[in-house]
Amino acid sequence: MKVYQHTIKEPVTISGVGLHTGVVSNMTFEPAPPNHGIKFQRTDLSHQPIIDADVDNVVDLSRGTSIEQDGGRINTVEHTLAAIAGLQIDNVLIKLDGPEPPILDGSAIQFIEALNKVGFEQQGAQRNYFEVPESIYFRDKANEIELAALPSEDYRVTVMVDYKSPVLGSQHASLNNIEDFSDQIASCRTFCFLHELEELHQRGLIKGGDLNNAIVIVDRVIEDDELDQLAKLFNKPKVEVKKEGILNNVELRYPNEPARHKLLDVIGDLALVGRPLKAQILAARPGHASNIAFAKKIKKLMEQEKKSIVPDYDPTLPPVININQITKILPHRYPFLLIDKIFYLDDTYVAGVKNVTFNEPFFQGHFPGNPVMPGVLQVEAMAQIGGILVLNSVPDPENYWAYFLGIESFRFRKMVLPGDTLVIKCELLAPIKRGIAKMKGTAHVGGNLACEGVMTASIVKKDS
């Protein structure tokens, strides 16, 4: 699994009809900066709203997963998201001039091919994995659905389906390495049973349905007059059933293609938790409703863990922002640049490091016979790391100043001495409004709390 975040090298567009809406649309994948995440944009609407790929934005699960935000709705996002997650793309803006991504052949393979064609760019930020700390379970007893996420050092998914159908039977599929998604899972198409077609049609769905973009499983005896009706439904001169119980003799790409497609759907739906996962996922008879309910449980645990986390600094890993990049963001220079690296950064949380050495200039005059890092400089180091966090909220941080406005409730718990590594965390206490940010800061040495407090900062454009 990748250590760094990735985006695509250049835009790429795919066009086609939406499965349920029947609307032809153009979908353009565009590169995005680090920590941007996966976002859709409805370019056909007057205010061109941005819709975050977030499980909290799910509004409908009628034979697909639909998300909505700020008056913009995107239907049937799961195949698109599965392709992005399968390629381990972290940051992308998906512009759509219609309500639904193209269904194409009913799988994710054409998205994969298009994205592979433009290639990928490694970015200067580490991937923000959520490592499942304990077993998470979801059960729907009425429908005999079960999902579990178990702790793992990588991302694995196993799916079992059993529709009690003599045609489909019991099937299972596994993906033991996310790197194999493109070859083993991406080409597997969506499917439904023949008895579901009429209901879906009456509900105003599958307006873009075609025998070229879905597998229709025939699970009962079918008469010639019904075949004629199906031909009209799919705008075909003729449809037939010859073998394997598949309408119009469509050849399966794998004997267990339906199970593999369900696995594809699980990966796409779980991408809505907003972070790449390290977990072993086990799913029995999953569907979109259960996938989303499960994703919400995972996200809830993710948020709880984030609130209580103490930075786990691993010096062997490359920094998210190194010292050369820090000097492009902050105006501070020797002897007043007091941070060395940033090892974690997202929209609300930052963690960085100050290596304290005896060569620090302040030790010449501050207790020279008993060197102790001044508390006020610990606060300044914390303010500089907090400055990285607030400047991360604007697309061009080099054009802004971050000013320190105030401190509250600061406490110093442990002396900081030469040779110590000060690990500093700052977390927003509320969203940034009108350029004002309030954050809680903590600093640790060897896992022990050195100081903590609340700071307020302001970001001001340099031209103003």
Question: Which one of the listed residues 6, 20, 261, 288 is annotated catalytic?
Answer: 288
- Which pLDDT belongs to residue 109? 97
pLDDT in tens, 360-403: 999 988 888 889 999 999 999 999 999 999 999 888 888 899 99
- Specify whether 79 is catalytic: no
- Specify whether 36 is catalytic: no
Whether the ω angle into residue 318 lies within 30 degrees of 0, i.e. cis, is no
Residue 346: band (very low, low, confident or very high) from pLDDT cuts 50, 70, 90: confident
Tell me what the pLDDT averaged over the chain comes to: 89
Q: Domains (ranges, CATH) in the chain? A: 4-186+258-307 (3.30.230.20), 191-252 (no CATH), 323-461 (3.10.129.10)
Which residue bears the tokens 């501070």?
332
DSSP E strands: which ranges in 328-420?
341-345, 349-355, 400-412
Question: Which one of the listed residues 36, 172, 332, 366 is annotated catalytic?
Answer: 366
- Which pLDDT belongs to residue 124? 76
Are 396 and 440 in contact, with CB atoms under 8 Å apart? no
- State what percent of residues in the chain have pLDDT above 70: 87
pLDDT greater at residue 348 or residue 32: 32
pLDDT in tens, 312-327: 788 888 899 999 999 9
Are 311 and 425 in contact, with CB atoms under 8 Å apart? yes
Tell me the mean pLDDT in the region 248-274. 91
- Indicate whether 353 pLDDT > 60: yes
Are 254 and 21 in contact, with CB atoms under 8 Å apart? no
Are 343 and 317 in contact, with CB atoms under 8 Å apart? yes
Residue 426: band (very low, low, confident or very high) from pLDDT cuts 50, 70, 90: very high
Beta-bridged to residue 149, according to DSSP, are: 136, 281
Residue 418: band (very low, low, confident or very high) from pLDDT cuts 50, 70, 90: very high
pLDDT in tens, 128-183: 899 998 999 999 999 999 999 999 999 999 999 987 776 777 899 999 999 999 99
- Which pLDDT belongs to residue 310? 47
Are 325 and 331 in contact, with CB atoms under 8 Å apart? no
In one-letter notation, the amino acid at residue 165 is S
pLDDT in tens, 194-242: 766 666 656 655 554 555 667 777 765 565 666 666 666 666 666 666 5
